[in-house]
C-alpha cells in the first residue's frame, strides 16, 4: 500500500476571459542579452511598481499587465489586490471599484475589467505576487521568444494563476496618481551616433511634432512626422538599449521598448529617458509626441527622484485616510 500523501491543491485566480493581451511580468530579464534574450518587463514600470507597493510586495513581484482590457478572473481565495495604470472599468461581482488602492476580495469573487478610456495598459497585483516559475531569471513574458509567464504566452481561458491569502488595504495619495495624456514630451539623451546628424537635422527632430503610427507594440513605437536624415545609411549591428531612437532609411523615428531585439544596425539619434517610456506606453495610435534634449546628469537626477517617489511615503493605510 502506498505511503504517499496527497499534496495540497494549489489555489489562486482562474482566468475566465483573458482579454485582449494579458501578460505575466516582473521587472524584467536582465543579463541575458549575450544569448539573445531581451529584457521584457512592464511597459509602464511606474504603475507596475505602484501596484506592488500598494500590496506591500517586493517591487519585483509578478503581476499582470492588461493591455486595452477585457480580463476576467475568478478568485479561489481571500486576498488583496490592486489595480493601477490606464483608466478602465474594474468591477468585483458587478460592483465598480476604484484604482490606485488595494481591495479585499473573497473566495468566489468575480473580478472583471472593461476597456480603457485613458491610457493603454493597466496592472493587477495581488498580495504576495503571483507564484510563477522564473525562466532565465525572470517571470516576464516575451511571446516572441516563448519564455516567461505561463508557457511563454499570453494568458488563456482556464489557466490558474497561483497566489496566497492575505489582508490589509492601502491607498495611493491622490497627489501621486498620474494622468495619461495623448500629447506628451519625451526627454532624450543624445547617443553614440549623434554626429551622424547635422545640427539642422537635430533641430528638426527636437522642434517637430510626431504621431504614433498604427505600428506600435511591446517591441517598439513607430512614429510619423518630420523625416530625419542621418549622413550614414547604417552601422554595424550593435547592442540596443531601452528607449533607443532608431532612424531607418525613411527618416521616421522608431522608439525601442522592452521586447526590442537585442542588436540592430540603424543609426540612433539618442535614447528616451527610461522613466518617460511609461508615458509613451500609455499612448495609442495618433498620440502626439515631442522631444526635449537633456543631459546625462539630468537623467541621473530624475531617475533618483523617481525612485524616491516610489519608495517613500506615496501610500498609506486606507483606515488612516478615513480617520
Domain termination site, one of 172, 205, 226: 172
> Same domain, yes or no, for 142 and 37?
yes
- Whether residue 3 is contained in a domain is answered as no
Q: Is the pLDDT of residue 7 over 70?
A: no
> Same domain, yes or no, for 124 and 260?
no
> Same domain, yes or no, for 159 and 284?
no
Give 99-135 pLDDT, tens digit per residue: 999 999 999 999 999 999 999 999 999 999 999 999 9
Give 190-200 pLDDT, tens digit per residue: 998 999 999 99
> Same domain, yes or no, for 45 and 151?
yes
More confident residue, 231 or 245: 245
pTM above 0.95, yes or no: no
Over residues 261-284, the mean pLDDT reads: 95
- Whether residue 213 is contained in a domain is answered as yes
Output the domain CATH number for residue 240: 2.40.100.10
> Same domain, yes or no, for 30 and 111?
yes
Domain termination site, one of 172, 195, 217: 172
Contact (CB, 8 A) for 66 and 133? no
Please give the residue range of the domain that contains residue 42.
Answer: 12-172
> Same domain, yes or no, for 271 and 244?
yes
The residues, ordered by sequence, that sit 6+ positions from 123 with a Cβ below 8 Å of its Cβ are 42, 44, 47, 48, 50, 51, 63, 64, 65, 66, 83, 84, 85
- Whether residue 61 is contained in a domain is answered as yes
Give SS3 for 227: coil
Over residues 230-253, the mean pLDDT reads: 91
> Same domain, yes or no, for 257 and 130?
no
Give 291-304 pLDDT, tens digit per residue: 999 999 999 999 99
> Same domain, yes or no, for 111 and 249?
no
Question: What confidence score (pLDDT) does residue 322 get?
Answer: 40
- Whether residue 291 is contained in a domain is answered as yes
Question: What confidence score (pLDDT) does residue 2 get?
Answer: 41
Helix spans in the chain (H): 45-54, 199-207, 277-281, 296-311, 318-322
- Whether residue 155 is contained in a domain is answered as yes
Question: What confidence score (pLDDT) does residue 272 get?
Answer: 98
- Whether residue 248 is contained in a domain is answered as yes
> Same domain, yes or no, for 96 and 192?
no
Q: What is the mean pLDDT of the chain?
A: 92
- Whether residue 1 is contained in a domain is answered as no
> How many separate domains does the chain show?
2
> Same domain, yes or no, for 158 and 187?
no
- Whether residue 45 is contained in a domain is answered as yes
Q: Is the pLDDT of residue 321 over 50?
A: no
Grid coordinates 465598480 are at which residue? 96
Domain termination site, one of 117, 145, 172: 172
Give 24-66 pLDDT, tens digit per residue: 999 999 999 999 999 999 999 999 999 999 999 999 999 999 9
Cα atoms in the Cβ-side hemisphere of radius 13 Å centred on 289: 31
Amino acid at each position: 500500500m502506498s505511503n504517499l500523501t496527497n499534496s495540497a491543491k494549489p489555489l489562486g485566480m482562474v482566468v475566465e476571459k483573458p482579454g485582449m493581451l494579458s501578460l505575466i511580468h516582473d521587472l524584467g530579464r536582465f543579463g541575458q542579452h549575450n544569448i539573445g534574450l531581451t529584457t521584457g518587463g512592464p511597459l509602464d514600470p511606474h504603475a507596475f511598481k505602484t501596484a506592488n507597493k500598494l500590496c506591500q510586495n517586493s517591487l519585483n513581484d509578478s503581476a499582470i499587465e492588461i493591455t486595452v482590457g477585457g480580463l476576467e478572473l475568478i478568485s479561489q481565495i481571500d486576498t488583496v489586490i490592486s489595480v493601477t495604470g490606464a483608466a478602465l472599468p474594474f468591477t468585483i461581482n458587478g460592483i465598480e471599484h476604484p484604482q490606485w488602492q488595494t481591495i479585499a476580495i473573497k473566495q468566489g469573487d468575480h473580478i472583471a475589467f472593461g476597456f480603457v478610456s485613458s491610457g493603454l495598459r493597466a496592472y493587477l497585483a495581488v498580495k504576495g505576487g503571483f507564484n510563477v516559475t522564473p525562466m532565465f531569471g525572470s517571470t516576464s513574458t516575451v511571446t516572441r521568444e516563448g519564455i516567461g509567464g505561463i508557457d511563454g504566452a499570453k494568458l488563456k481561458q482556464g489557466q490558474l494563476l497561483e497566489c496566497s491569502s492575505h489582508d490589509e488595504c492601502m491607498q495611493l495619495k491622490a497627489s501621486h496618481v498620474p494622468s495619461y495624456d495623448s500629447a506628451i514630451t519625451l526627454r532624450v539623451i543624445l547617443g553614440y551616433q549623434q554626429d551622424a546628424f547635422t545640427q539642422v537635422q537635430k533641430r528638426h527632430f527636437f522642434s517637430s511634432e510626431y504621431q504614433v503610427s498604427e505600428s506600435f507594440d511591446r517591441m517598439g513605437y513607430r512614429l510619423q512626422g518630420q523625416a530625419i536624415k542621418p549622413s550614414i545609411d547604417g552601422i554595424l549591428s550593435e547592442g540596443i538599449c531601452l528607449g533607443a531612437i532608431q532612424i531607418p532609411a525613411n527618416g521616421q523615428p522608431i522608439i525601442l521598448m522592452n521586447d526590442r531585439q537585442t542588436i540592430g544596425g540603424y543609426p540612433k539619434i539618442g535614447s528616451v529617458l527610461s522613466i518617460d517610456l511609461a508615458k509613451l506606453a500609455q499612448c495609442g495610435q495618433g498620440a502626439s509626441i515631442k522631444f526635449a534634449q537633456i543631459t546625462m546628469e539630468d537623467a541621473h537626477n530624475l531617475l533618483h527622484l523617481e525612485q524616491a517617489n516610489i519608495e517613500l511615503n506615496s501610500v498609506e493605510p486606507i483606515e488612516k485616510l478615513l480617520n
